[in-house]
Amino acid sequence: MSMYQVPQRDISLILDEIVNYDTLCKLSGFEDASRDVVDAVLVEAAKFFETIVAPTNHTADGQGTQLKGGTVQTAAALDGVYDQMVESGWCCLNGDSDYGGAGLPSVVDLATQEMLQSANTALSLLPMLSRGVIHALSLYGSDEQKKTYLEKLIAGTWTGTMNLTESQAGTDLSAVQTKAKPHGDHYLIQGQKIYITWGDHELADNIIHLVLARIVGAPGGNNGISLFLVPKYLVNADGSLGARNDVAVVGVEHKLGIHASPTCTMAFGDKGGAVGYLVGPENRGLMCMFAMMNNARLAVGHQGVAVGERAYQQAVAYASDRVQGRIEGHDTNAPIIHHPDVKRMLMQMRALVEGGRALSFFAIAAEDRSRRNSDLACRKRDACWVEILTPLVKGWCTEVSMEVASLGVQVHGGMGFIEETGAAQHMRDARILPIYEGTNGIQGLDFLGRKCLRDGGEGLSSLIVAMQETVAELSNAASSLTLLVASLERAIRQCKEALDQVLSHPDDAPAIAYNCLLLYGNALCYWLLVRLAAAAQRKIDDGSTDRFYTNKIATARFFATQILPRNDGLLRSLGDGATCLESMSGVDFVRT
């Protein structure tokens, strides 16, 4: 089993060429986050996650979590690890400095999130959910709520959860039955929630649950749902912890993967009512919760990148050591990494991971600019891009993470099917990601419905224009980039054709949304890989002989010839996607 190494050079190149960090750090509020400061931070973060967290991944997965005496017992391998994360300040680097946070750009926080996600996917979910609570409270919490909770959440001494799902209310949250009864300055919450990630544990002093519930007498459906803050332990006026709230964990799920992350069934109010505080306006809980959910969707998307990176590194290490069969030019048996088909699989893993990483950083950089740029027009454009990119990052990056992890098992051969090697764990862990925070089918519907049809394709068209600008910039590029530019031009034409198809047949959108999401994900990732390849070519033109740069061009070329052609089939499927489904009714799927 290989150790994890942070891909620092890849992240650095993205910060230079995709994020344009030297410009980003000049935005209001980021003046102290210069590139030399950030480089030092990321070096220290890499040491921590490589040496302290990464070795726990496989062991913690085997140990799992248990519910004993009403308390969740987490994997022994994690004992003290989260405390070290808190002490070292790695839980939330982009936390508001007004509440004790470092106030760094979110792209810097994203880099450390990836390190944690690759090091231990299950543990990474703990601060990921806390970030979502921080985001929701920052937008909709009262001044008193911010003062009471944000500092502890940002530091990580308290953690947060998101409580949406009930047994009868999964994707359709209009069916939520958890009740909230007014009681003085607070509410009493009663109901049960399922699939609550890190819903209970003893790694932090308090757990802050954000809970969707319906105030007694509120209208039915989505318009009658409110959001409540329900702490595990009540908080006294001086900020100290008080009595245990009427919140209990009544079950821990036995899952396919992420075994070290407790997924809990939570009971609120079994002893009369859990104390909860309204967050945001009454009956606008879904609006408030979506702020948290969209934050989580971007984070889950990057988890796909991180799991893929760990699977890739392990596959490379195994292929480098495993001697099997002869190849041309070798008199004896050679490591399988020299076999063409193994090289194909490793290149496919590498190209998908690097494309996803570039897409994710591009989205978070747009989010940073949308909040800090002094140019109103740029803020508006970037905010639009973030809305469009959120379902793409979540959907595309998690979809290909399964492909990457599966290829990792394949590279190992029979040993990949054996749990002891660790390759299977990455595949198991990756499988939840396309389901989390709205399935990828829902991401497709969001991408086409809310982010394309709503504005007549204006937002998507602005991204296509940005892609065309890259083609113009590289019109006189070196011969090594000619194929890449030609492939980018083809991808742009396909994006336009897909957009025209959607706009001219909007009723077909539900049937073709998923394929359209994949098409745009492939195209945008490739566009960003071309930009990285162009930057690498400039280094080569300046005299560099570093293989890192030639490999960047090779990765983009592989994507162009082996992955991007998938869009040919996806584009064709958009024309008949709705028609072929209409011929089947629900009962037709039952075998007779």
Q: How confident is the model at residue 76 (pLDDT cuts 50, 70, 90)?
A: very high
| pLDDT (average), residues 184-213 | 97
pLDDT at 580: 82
More confident residue, 75 or 581: 75
Helix (H) or strand (E) holding 117: helix 106-119
- Check if 437 is active-site: yes
Give just the sign of the alpha carbon dihedral 96, 198, 352, 438. negative
Break the chain into its structural domains and give their ranges: 440-581
pLDDT at 222: 86
pLDDT tens digits, one per residue of 121-152: 999 999 999 999 999 999 999 999 999 999 99
Cβ-contact 503, 454 below 8 angstroms = no
Q: Is residue 156 over pLDDT 80?
A: yes
pLDDT at 210: 97
pLDDT at 42: 98
By three-state DSSP, how is residue 219 classified? Answer: coil
Query: What's the 3-state SS for 449-486?
Result: HHHHHCCCCHHHHHHHHHHHHHHHHCCCCCHHHHHHHH
Q: Is residue 251 over pLDDT 70?
A: yes
pLDDT at 293: 87
| pLDDT (average), residues 206-233 | 95
| pLDDT (average), residues 440-460 | 93
Q: How confident is the model at residue 1 (pLDDT cuts 50, 70, 90)?
A: low
| pLDDT (average), residues 537-548 | 96
| pLDDT (average), residues 69-97 | 96
For 356, 483, 496, the CA distances from 490, given in Å and listed in that order, are: 20, 11, 10
| pLDDT (average), residues 422-447 | 96
Give the active site residue among 403, 437, 473, 497: 437
pLDDT at 364: 98
pLDDT at 389: 97
| pLDDT (average), residues 263-277 | 97
Which residues have a Cβ under 8 Å from the Cβ of 45 and sit 6 or more positions away?
6, 90, 111, 112, 115
Phi, psi of 228 (to 5 degrees): -130, 145
Give just the sign of the alpha carbon dihedral 413, 415, 418, 422. negative
| pLDDT (average), residues 483-510 | 95
pLDDT tens digits, one per residue of 338-383: 999 999 999 999 999 999 999 999 999 999 999 999 999 999 999 9
Q: For all residues of the chain together, what is the average pLDDT?
A: 95
Query: What's the 3-state SS for 343-402?
Result: HHHHHHHHHHHHHHHHHHHHHHHHHHHHHHCCCHHHHHHHHHHHHHHHHHHHHHHHHHHH
| pLDDT (average), residues 388-406 | 98
